[in-house]
Structure 1
């Protein structure tokens, strides 16, 4: 009987080790995908401009006299004009300059913003531009495939993977969901719905985090006591699957930096006051050496 017990204990131990190895491989794979996404053509390291539109004409090109000044050498001195009136934007290209919309040359077109779903994207050379809306303000966001931040990127830094930071938190729903005011890094406040809060313990003390909801998942923006030292000063992002049976899993090994850590041209949400935790969470992504904001 004793030998059977020893064999059983060994099998359990081997199973635990196998589970830990599998978890580590899963997180390492996710981290590699995270880095690949940042340096991809659609990654945040290619976002190279944010230009708030004024009412009327907004000229675009590399010449300094334009309202929208594009990176030197990336385009002609003038590529066209973004005309903004009453929340609507129209682009008119300069004759002889090749600008495309959905892969087709464009002379003049009304542009949908990201507030209307998938925005219309203009392209010229290595540049792409589209309209974003934040609160009641509109801007042109610029992507440059030759952005210096992309070329100079040397990888991310991470805390060691530690499964103890994969926390099973108690989920307390709000019925109905509560409205919260989310301030972003450029000073604009937008309303969002918070479906509830996750309650969990660290070193015997309870903490809470309130998410918003994105694409069927819970989206947490939080700040902890590592911020400004080991992690990005403004805070980090974390997604979680929907709660099951009154619980939600918070895997802080998957906590990651917002886009504002990599480009000055993002409009990242800041943590809600109640999501600023006075405790260290040494897990997930560390501060990027060239943090933009």
Structure 2
């Protein structure tokens, strides 16, 4: 009898240790998943298409816009550019490019017909040396987005501080879709307002209270949420953070993994044009997960 009791006791102890080991192992796997995801994001920021190499944002006027490093140009590029790179001509929402004879400009990633470098929302990338630029459209404005593939920021970048990974912040939410199609007004840092299709509200509970976040379509089967919380302008970036998630499952559930909450591009460069959170996405709680303020500028 005594032997049976000892065996039962040992079995219970082993079972508890085994469950604890499994739990710890699962926790470690999730931490590794988030760490790998974060490292991939840091690599993306430093890539040629990342946000760290932005070197300028210049708005075009209708008609001719001369540009280059000479201060006599309408738009002044960094000193490493030719004194006269050329002229960008904006007419009726399309932009053409005339290179100066002394400039060595290459056309990359051509998304337009040969006579234009911007048309119908499509753009062609231009390059001289380590500088790359292309045309963007924001509301009624057209501008040059300039990159420097050898921007000093790239060598000085030390990564982004985060809150400790906490799986409790991987929250299941119910997506409440609007009864009729509607849009939500999103304002960007330039003060321009655009109407975005509202996919729905992600409704979740935290410590017994219910919270709602308006979500728009991010494309590629994903949802996009811009939010503020009680850490904003303190530990986290003052213009809020971004969160992406997959579209709802058959039960209408979405996963809000706040450990993947990220800084907007404007946190890394003054030359980005970021959307701001709608007022209804200002949460009255502290989301102690995800990226902290990058403190880049």
RMSD: 1.7
The equivalent of 2:205 in structure 1 is: 201
29, 43, 47: which one aligns with 2:50: 43
The equivalent of 2:183 in structure 1 is: 179
The equivalent of 2:95 in structure 1 is: 89
130, 140, 145: which one aligns with 2:144: 140
Task: Choose 8-17 or 218-227, whichever is displaced more.
Answer: 8-17
Shift >6 Å, 4+ stretches: none
Pair 1:167 & 2:171 matched: yes
Query: Tell me, which stretches of 5 or more residues in structure 2 are unaligned?
Result: 1-7
**1:157 deviation in Å?**
0.7
Deviations along 1:164-195, whole A, 9 cap, x unmatched? 11111122112444211110011111121111
TM-score by length of 2: 0.91
Max Rg structure = 2
The equivalent of 1:59 in structure 2 is: 66
Which SS does the other structure have where 2:52 is aligned?
A: helix
Which SS does the other structure have where 1:18 is aligned?
A: helix
Pair 1:273 & 2:287 matched: no
Deviations along 1:176-225, whole A, 9 cap, x unmatched? 44211110011111121111111112222111101111121011110111
Query: Tell me, which stretches of 5 or more residues in structure 1 are unaligned?
Result: none
**1:256 deviation in Å?**
0.5
Task: Choose 147-156 or 85-94, whichever is displaced more.
Answer: 147-156
154, 160, 178: which one aligns with 2:158: 154
Task: Choose 244-253 or 228-237, whichever is displaced more.
Answer: 244-253
**1:16 deviation in Å?**
1.5
The equivalent of 2:5 in structure 1 is: none
Deviations along 1:72-92, whole A, 9 cap, x unmatched? 2x2111100000011110010
**1:135 deviation in Å?**
1.2
CA distance in 2, matches of 1:67, 1:188: 24
Which SS does the other structure have where 1:283 is aligned?
A: coil
Instruction: For 1:91-106, list aligned pairs within 5 A.
Output: 91-102=97-108
Q: Does the 8 A contact of 1:176 with 1:195 survive in 2? A: no
**1:4 deviation in Å?**
4.5
281, 284, 290: which one aligns with 2:290: 284
CA distance in 2, matches of 1:277, 1:191: 22
214, 231, 234: which one aligns with 2:239: 234
The equivalent of 1:213 in structure 2 is: 217
Q: Does the 8 A contact of 2:213 with 2:225 survive in 1? A: yes
Which SS does the other structure have where 1:45 is aligned?
A: coil
Deviations along 1:6-44, whole A, 9 cap, x unmatched? 444433322221111100000001111111111122210
TM-score by length of 1: 0.92
Q: Does the 8 A contact of 1:128 with 1:142 survive in 2? A: yes
Q: Does the 8 A contact of 2:121 with 2:137 survive in 1? A: no
CA distance in 2, matches of 1:7, 1:160: 30
Change (3 A) 1:103 1:159: closer
The equivalent of 1:124 in structure 2 is: 128
Q: Does the 8 A contact of 2:109 with 2:124 survive in 1? A: no
Change (3 A) 1:9 1:171: farther
CA distance in 1, matches of 2:188, 2:109: 33
**1:103 deviation in Å?**
7.4
Deviations along 1:53-82, whole A, 9 cap, x unmatched? 10011111011122221112x211110000
Q: Does the 8 A contact of 2:70 with 2:84 survive in 1? A: yes
